[in-house]
């Protein structure tokens, strides 16, 4: 639903609710009650209902395959990021899962983002994590995306300038 305006979201939601009803009618599966399938199912609903698929966290699987936990156990610092950090970032997304490891092993973690929702700090309880916007001043989303590489380089250089004397 990213990129959809309010009217489009309403139409998409209506279509997905209808889709979920049809799946229940023909398979008996209530996809809207399956964790991870979305409010009304989405694409995973079809996979679950018609292909007998299972849902699991993609980032958890990637971190497991990449042996992330083993690789960071003795790290001095973790730097990660996401385009936009908001409350959803802490529920099944890469940043949220990485933060869990930083807390487990008490590793200082820097999170960089193009946009940082002001309410994110209500969800961030970790004393080991700091979140920084890479955008140096108020700019449009388009401008932020266009200059992301430049802004990221500036922010990383600022952070490294301080860290080089301490790590």
Q: What is the pLDDT of residues 121-157, one digit of tens each?
A: 887 877 889 999 999 888 888 898 899 999 999 999 9
Give the residue with greater pLDDT, 15 vs 106: 106
51-55, 69-73, 82-86: segment of lowest average pLDDT:
51-55
Residue 27, pLDDT > 80, answer: yes
Task: Using DSSP, state whether 135 is helix, strand or coil.
Answer: coil
Q: Which of 134, 125, 42, 37 is nearest to 84 (CA)?
A: 134
What span, in angstroms and rounded, lies between the C-alpha atoms of 31 and 43? 11
What separation in angstroms does the CA of 93 have from each of 33, 62, 88, 154?
21, 11, 7, 25
DSSP letter at 74? T
Is residue 108 over pLDDT 90?
yes
The answer to whether residue 13 scores a pLDDT higher than 80 is yes
CA atoms within 13 A on the CB side of 141: 5
Domains of the chain: which residue ranges?
Answer: 6-51, 58-163
pLDDT at 167 exceeding the cut of 80:
no
Average pLDDT, the chain: 87
The pLDDT of residue 40 is: 45
The tens digit of pLDDT for each residue in 37-61 reads: 665 456 778 888 888 888 877 899 9
pLDDT at residue 62 tops 90: yes
Collapsed DSSP state (helix, strand, coil) of residue 117: coil
Under DSSP, the state recorded for 32 is: G
Chain Cα centroid distance, residue 40? 20
């Amino acid at each position: 639903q990213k990129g959809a305006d309010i009217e489009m979201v309403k139409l998409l939601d209506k279509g997905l609710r209808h889709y979920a009803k049809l799946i229940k009618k023909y398979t008996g599966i209530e996809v809207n009650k399956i964790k991870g399938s979305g409010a009304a199912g989405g694409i995973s609903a079809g996979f679950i209902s018609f292909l007998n698929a299972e849902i699991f966290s993609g980032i958890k699987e990637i971190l497991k395959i990449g042996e992330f936990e083993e690789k960071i156990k003795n790290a001095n610092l973790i730097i990660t990021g996401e385009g936009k950090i908001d409350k959803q970032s802490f529920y099944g997304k890469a940043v949220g899962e990485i933060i869990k490891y930083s807390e487990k092993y008490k590793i200082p973690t820097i999170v960089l983002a193009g946009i940082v929702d002001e309410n994110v700090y209500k969800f961030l309880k970790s004393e080991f994590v700091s979140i920084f916007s890479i955008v140096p001043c108020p700019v449009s989303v388009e401008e932020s995306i266009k200059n992301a590489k430049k802004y990221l380089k500036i922010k990383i250089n600022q952070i490294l300038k301080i860290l080089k004397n301490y790590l």
